[in-house]
Amino acid sequence: MIPVAWWSPAKKDSNRDIAVKRMNDLVTNRREACATAIKFENKSEEEIESIVTYIKDYACRNLSVNEKDVKVHISKDGNIVTIIASIAYK
Amino acid sequence: MDDSKVFVVTSGKGGVGKTTVTANVGACLALLGYNVCLIDADIGLKNLDLVLGLENRVVYTIIDVVRGNKDPLEAVVKHKLLKNLNLLASSQIANKDMVSEQDMINLVNELSKHYHYIIIDCPAGIERGFKNSIAPAQQAIIVTTPELTAISDADRVIGMLENQGFSEQRVSLIVNRLKPRMVQRDKMVSPDEIKNALAVELLGVVPDSEEIIVSTNEGNPLVLDEKNRLSVPFKNIAQRILGNPIPISEDISGSSEDGFLGFIKKLLGRR
């Protein structure tokens, strides 16, 4: 028979502490990075560059993030250009 | 009206109190003298008419307006006690696909000529109904309860709003059904902790109360009862919407009447 201890010297986290930790884990997953992809066809280099600049400016202005936390990745497949913007939240 | 303001009340999760918040905040603004129009965007699962006690007065719905059968002003219904509180009801037999984002934008553009405040009661979920509801809104009010399931969904909705171009300044949070005694006993997350986790401004805190059920049964927003303690947080929220900085602590002051005194008051049925 396993003896059941009615008192443990180890301090147990309160129910609220557990909830706060789980809550922060839940929301941090999304807030750490948020990536969105957009596709264009037949765009010139200048137009793509202006779109990238706009994305960075928009993120800095409206999402309270630094420019270095906004990563914009461009990939080309024929005349289709895919731009992936990844924004890291603090 | 040039200075008309359009709010959407959303949450992601169902059953957190979006409709109650919409009805009571709308009623508070109407009590302050503003012309208010509430839009029930929960097509197929309408509730706002019930909370306002207007279910028998609704003749035309949002679907009649979208189809062009009625002008928006012909379809809205006035509240029985608050004549400047109006409702554009939803339809129970229609479905969400019958309304588009552009329909909602056109509808709100028309209504904003006549009302100071338009509050859209968003359906649960993040599909078509959600997108329709947020399309015409200038400000989003996220309602959550202090439960992880609701907080997680609220976080997802905030992310979607940000993707739709809502800046931090356009999103605020209401923590509904807070049990202050549970927070004191370390058994519930506090509004500040939720605010910090979600990183949005706190617009108000509404304590948990059985009186919500009583007011829904009667079909009257509880803020119409001046003696009702629960009217205080809703009135404070309305003041904050108007730009008056009321401390959040005032929302829950006097709400935690547990213990022996609270027990006696409950026993005597005192509000």
Predicted pLDDT of residue B17: 93
More confident residue, A34 or B124: B124
Which CATH number characterizes residue B63's domain? 3.40.50.300
pLDDT tens digits, one per residue of B102-128: 999 999 999 999 999 999 999 998 888
Predicted pLDDT of residue A4: 55
What is d(CA B107, CA B185) in angstroms, rounded to the nearest whole number? 47
Of A26-35, A61-70, B200-209, least confident by mean pLDDT is A26-35
What is d(CA B208, CA B176) in angstroms, rounded to the nearest whole number? 7
**pLDDT exceeds 60 at position A14:** yes
Chain A residue with the nearest C-alpha to that of B193: A20
Burial class (CB in 10 A: 0-12, 13-18, 19+), B180: buried
The interface residues of chain B toward chain A in range 81-100, judged by CB-CB distance below 8 A, are none
- Ranges of H-type helices in chain B: 18-31, 48-51, 62-66, 72-75, 101-111, 128-134, 148-163, 180-184, 191-198, 211-218, 231-241, 249-252, 259-268
Predicted pLDDT of residue A29: 56
> What residues make up the domain containing B106?
5-269
Predicted pLDDT of residue B35: 97
Nearest Cβ partner of B148 from A17, A26, A30? A26
Those residues of chain B that have pLDDT short of 50 are 269-271
What is d(CA B218, CA B237) in angstroms, rounded to the nearest whole number? 23
In sequence order, what are the residues at sequence separation of 6 or more whose Cβ sits closer than 8 angstroms to the Cβ of residue B147? none
Predicted pLDDT of residue B228: 86
Q: How many domains does chain B fold into?
A: 1
Distance of CA B65 to the CA centre of its chain: 22
Predicted pLDDT of residue B226: 83
Predicted pLDDT of residue B86: 96
Nearest Cβ partner of A30 from B156, B190, B193? B156
Q: How many CB pairs under 8 A join A and B?
A: 54
Chain B interface disruption, residue of A11, A12, A15, A16, most B CBs within 10 A: A16
**pLDDT exceeds 80 at position A70:** yes
Contact of B11 with B143, CB cutoff 8 Å: yes
Predicted pLDDT of residue B174: 96
**Over pLDDT 70: what percentage of chain B?**
93
**Within 10 Å of residue B268's Cβ, how many Cβ atoms?**
7
Identity of residue B135: A
Chain B hits for A31, CB-CB cut-off 8 Å, are: 155, 199
